[in-house]
Each structure stands twice: as C-alpha cells, then as structure tokens.
C-alpha cells in the first residue's frame, strides 16, 4: 500500500495562504465521536495555525455523516462563510450501508458546493476498520482534519482570487 509509511497530512512542500480574511464553518458528525473529535481538533488547530480568527470559525455538530450534507446546506443558506469543512467517519460493516452512506455524502457535499459556488470540503474518513480510522485521525497517517482545513484555506483563497 502506497500510504503504509506516509504521513498524508504533510504540507511542507506547499504554500498555504493566510486564513485571516476568511470565515469557516465546520460541521462535525457525532457518530464515531472519538475519531471525529480528533478530526475536528486537527482542523480547528490548523485554521488557527494559519491565521484564522477564532471569531471567524463556526462549529456545529450533526448526528452522523449522512447529515453533513444538510448541515453544510443550512450553513451556507444562512451565513456568509467562505468555506465549510465537513468532518465524519464511516467504517465498513457487514452490510452495504457503508456504500450507500459514502456515496450519498460525497455526492451531496459536491451538490451543495455547486449550489452555492462555495468550497465544501470532504473531510470524511471512509475506512475498512477502526484502526485505519485512528491512523488517519491523528495517527501514523496524519489527520484528515488537518488536510480538510488546508484545503478549505486554499479553496477560499482560490475563490477570492477569481472573484476579486
């Protein structure tokens, strides 16, 4: 596996713009909370590390990953956010539920982003087991929350650059 020994959250080879001028929403799924809380901490701390103002970060929780789509939609309908970071974790079980949820969330978040022409960041772990989720939420493979925050900053900057 290509990621076996790699920290996926290493951004040392890229430039990250200042997050100071932007407003961010973070929507966090409560399901698999040990994992999603770690994702949230990574995202929140990364935003602050890159200059985001505490008063410009709005955090909300939803019951599960499926609800991230409606959470992002409600946030963008009722606010002036520059980007929304959606954090969740879906772990493969014995049924096809995993496939349906993962596909619905990915498609739903894409549709919300297109509807509002705003970055909606997919910070959802879709893993085979609990160990993989832990490895990607602050473990040996980094923290997907950090990756989502960096993506949100870069996309907010990208949108501002094009929209003036």
pLDDT digits (tens, 9 = 90+) for 51-84: 999 999 999 999 999 999 999 999 999 889 999 9
Give the residue, 78 or 12, on which the prediction is more confident.
78
Residue 15 banded pLDDT, cuts 50, 70, 90: confident
Question: Could you give the C-alpha distances from 2 to 6, 8, 147, 153, in angstroms and in order?
Answer: 8, 11, 18, 26
State the catalytic residue, choosing from 23, 50, 97, 141: 97
Check: pTM over 0.85? Answer yes or no. Answer: yes
pLDDT digits (tens, 9 = 90+) for 99-134: 888 999 999 999 999 999 999 999 999 999 999 999
Report the distance separating Cα 43 and Cα 111, nearest Å.
Answer: 22
DSSP 95: S
DSSP 120-145: EEEEEEEESSHHHHHHTEEETTEEHH
Residue 61: per-residue pLDDT: 97
Partners of 91 in beta bridges: 127
Report the top-level CATH class of 33-163: alpha beta
> Is 141 among the catalytic positions?
no
3-class DSSP state of 109: helix
**Number of H-type helices and E-type strands within the chain:** 5, 6
């Amino acid at each position: 596996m290509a990621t076996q020994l790699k920290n996926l959250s290493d951004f040392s080879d890229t430039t990250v713009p200042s997050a100071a001028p932007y407003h961010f929403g973070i929507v966090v799924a409560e399901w698999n909370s040990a994992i999603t809380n770690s994702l949230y901490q990574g995202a929140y701390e990364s935003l602050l590390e890159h200059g985001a103002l505490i008063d410009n970060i709005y955090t909300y929780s939803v019951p599960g990953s499926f609800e991230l789509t409606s959470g992002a939609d409600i946030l963008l309908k009722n606010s002036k956010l520059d980007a929304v970071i959606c954090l969740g974790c879906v772990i493969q079980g014995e049924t096809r539920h995993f496939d349906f949820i993962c596909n619905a969330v990915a498609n739903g978040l894409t549709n919300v982003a297109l509807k509002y022409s705003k970055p909606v960041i997919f910070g959802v772990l879709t893993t085979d087991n609990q160990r993989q989720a832990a490895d990607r939420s602050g473990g040996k493979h980094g923290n997907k929350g950090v990756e989502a925050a960096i993506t949100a900053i870069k996309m907010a900057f990208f949108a501002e650059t094009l929209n003036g």
